[in-house]
């Protein structure tokens, strides 16, 4: 399953490590050094130059600066996991049998 991060960018949910809120009150002090180092390594990818960064999506190889809120991305990831679980069990997230 995939998660849409904004623009034309999608990643596999299995690649996702964490989603960080760019606007968190606590994050500037702790997030800035991490983002600086990631950018120095060439692993920070801004999805949109025209939209404000609302979240950072961390994978093993890249950190994506996304214009989509962390809450929305989290919901998308959870919905994708529920769909994957439904495919495996033959039931959807409401435990109804899937039609083949």
Digit-coded pLDDT (tens) for 11-58: 999 999 999 998 865 556 778 889 999 999 999 999 999 999 999 999
Domain ranges of the chain: 2-89
Query: Are the C-beta atoms of residues 34 and 27 closer than 8 Å to each other?
Result: no
Confidence (pTM): 0.76
How many CA within 13 A on the CB side of residue 76? 20
* Distance between CA atoms of residues 67 and 70, nearest Å: 9
Sequence-ordered list of residues with C-beta below 8 angstroms from that of 1, at least 6 positions apart, any chain: 12, 13, 80, 81, 83, 84
């Amino acid at each position: 399953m995939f998660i849409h991060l904004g623009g034309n960018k999608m990643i596999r949910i299995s690649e996702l490590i964490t989603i960080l809120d760019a606007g968190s009150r606590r994050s500037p002090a702790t997030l800035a050094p991490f983002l600086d180092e990631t950018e120095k390594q060439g692993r920070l990818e801004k999805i949109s130059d025209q939209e404000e960064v609302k979240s950072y999506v961390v994978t093993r190889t890249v950190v994506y600066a996304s214009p989509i809120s962390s809450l929305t991305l989290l919901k998308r990831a959870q919905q994708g996991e529920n769909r994957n679980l439904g495919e495996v069990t033959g039931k959807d997230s409401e435990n109804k049998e899937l039609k083949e």
